[in-house]
Amino acid sequence: MTQVHYREIEGASPGYWALLGLFGLFVLAGLGAAYYMEHNGHWVTGMSNQVVWGMPHVFAVFLIIAASGVLNVASIASVFGRALYQPLARLSGLLAFTLLIGGLAILVLDLGRPDRLIVAMTYYNFKSIFAWNIYLYVGFFAVVALYLWTLFERRMNRYSKPAGMAAFLWRLILTTGTGSIFGFLVAREAYDTALLAPMFIIMSFSFGLAIYILVLMAACRWSERPLGDVVLQRLKNLQGVFIAAVLYFLLVYHLTYLYMTEKHGVERFLLLDGGVYTALFWIVQVALGGLVPLALLYHPQTGRSRPVIALAAALVILGGLAQVYVTIIGGQAYPLNMFPDKIVTSSFFDGAVTSYAPSLPEVTLGLGGVALALAMTAFALKVLPFLPESLADSDVNPATA
């Protein structure tokens, strides 16, 4: 590997400022949606007493686990010593930072009473997984900031491996905590399993890398920096491995539930009788988000096409959103089994599948969080040297991958 030179995006092109302006409009729309929901109450959304986590939580959880997974590129360089990935580490750390900010911004603004966050920050119930996650999120910011410092400051470069190791371990714990939020909820039959923690980890690898590939391709193209086939093919092949791993864990998850007689009801709901959730599962999550990008990436012809690689990454993101939607919303829509083996009847939706339709303010808030993460990324690339001057094949050594 030759000496890597980093440089911020120079110039003040109208296209760059137009892009920032577009992101800014989405951020403002998200803030407006949050104000509308806070001022009028959550009855203006599709959420209810049965579905208390709606579309904003889908976006937020997706961004949070993607923030953990996108750091995997830096971990491959610093922890596992793959020099080919070293020039990609700074952008990896930046995206981890900005994606987590975007996800947490959605969560805070969807609280209904954002000021109550002060209570959660000052009084801790250590039996609550939510209280644990406050530490995990704050610690993630600190560890990633420290890791980026070791990458930027030449005198600190020798500490990049231990800092990278700390970031690697912390992000595994963070994603485990996020998955455990649902895995510890024994009242919801679709959640109650320890498999959700490792499945969220491998989901983070796939979703984060898909975002990284798209951002890297766009940044290099718009700043006219060479991006060689060596780097892109390595990332593409790694993406394929992660997609296959997600499908594997998904298979194990559902086979486990099918083996358990008490879970047959929720399995039939998700896989056969769930309506929109079943359609999202099979068509968007499994087919479009898994099998199709896997075939595109590993086909001899399409796997070398840059537009196809970008399309595959976009499909992974689409399938990831569908997977989080089915997990969070579908898990709440299935009726609670309050008294197993007993018939319960009342006027409080006992045994009834809950209907939910995302409202415009919910979707707008979610898109606002995504736009905030992308706007911060675009601004940081302009003011700090996160991006290498060249990733051309002549500047990298495939043997170090």
Q: Which pLDDT score is estimated for 389? A: 87
CA dihedral 110, 38, 22, 314 (to 10 degrees): 30
Q: Is the pLDDT of residue 125 over 90?
A: no
CB count, 10 Å around CB of 21? 11
As a whole number of angstroms, the distance between CA 82 and CA 385 comes to: 21
Q: Which pLDDT score is estimated for 185? A: 79
Q: Which pLDDT score is estimated for 56? A: 93
As a whole number of angstroms, the distance between CA 194 and CA 198 comes to: 8
pLDDT-based confidence at 340, cuts 50/70/90? low
Let me know if residue 342 belongs to a domain.
Answer: no
Question: Could you report how far apart the first and last alpha carbons of the chain are, in Å?
Answer: 10
Q: Is the pLDDT of residue 77 over 90?
A: no
Report helix, strand and coil shares of the chain as percent, to nearest 5. 75, 0, 25
Beta bridge mates, 391: 227
pLDDT-based confidence at 397, cuts 50/70/90? low
Q: Which pLDDT score is estimated for 112? A: 66
Mean pLDDT of 291-296: 96
Mean pLDDT of 57-78: 93
As a whole number of angstroms, the distance between CA 185 and CA 206 comes to: 25
Let me know if residue 119 belongs to a domain.
Answer: yes
pLDDT-based confidence at 184, cuts 50/70/90? confident
Percent of the chain with pLDDT over 70: 93
Q: Is the pLDDT of residue 363 over 90?
A: yes
- What does the angle CA 178 – CA 179 – CA 184 come to, to the nearest 5 degrees? 105
Q: Is the pLDDT of residue 175 over 60?
A: yes
Residues 6 or more apart from 345 whose CB is under 8 A from it?
Answer: 351
Let me know if residue 7 belongs to a domain.
Answer: no
Let me know if residue 92 belongs to a domain.
Answer: yes
The domain tally of the chain equals: 1
| 209 contacts 246 by C-beta, under 8 angstroms | no
By residue range, what is the domain housing residue 137?
14-336+347-396
pTM: 0.92
As a whole number of angstroms, the distance between CA 329 and CA 57 comes to: 9
Mean pLDDT of 233-262: 92
Q: Is the pLDDT of residue 341 over 80?
A: no
Q: Which pLDDT score is estimated for 1? A: 44
Q: If you average pLDDT over every residue of the chain, what do you get?
A: 88
Let me know if residue 4 belongs to a domain.
Answer: no
Q: Which pLDDT score is estimated for 350? A: 64
- Domain holding 257: CATH number? 1.20.1630.10
| 214 contacts 309 by C-beta, under 8 angstroms | no
User: Which of 66-70, 133-137, 267-271, 329-333 shows the highest mean pLDDT?
Assistant: 66-70
Q: Is the pLDDT of residue 5 over 70?
A: yes
pLDDT-based confidence at 43, cuts 50/70/90? confident
DSSP state of 387: S
Q: Is the pLDDT of residue 352 over 80?
A: no
pLDDT-based confidence at 260, cuts 50/70/90? confident
DSSP state of 217: H
Residues 6 or more apart from 198 whose CB is under 8 A from it?
Answer: 176, 179, 249
Q: Which pLDDT score is estimated for 84? A: 87
Let me know if residue 1 belongs to a domain.
Answer: no
Let me know if residue 8 belongs to a domain.
Answer: no
Let me know if residue 265 belongs to a domain.
Answer: yes
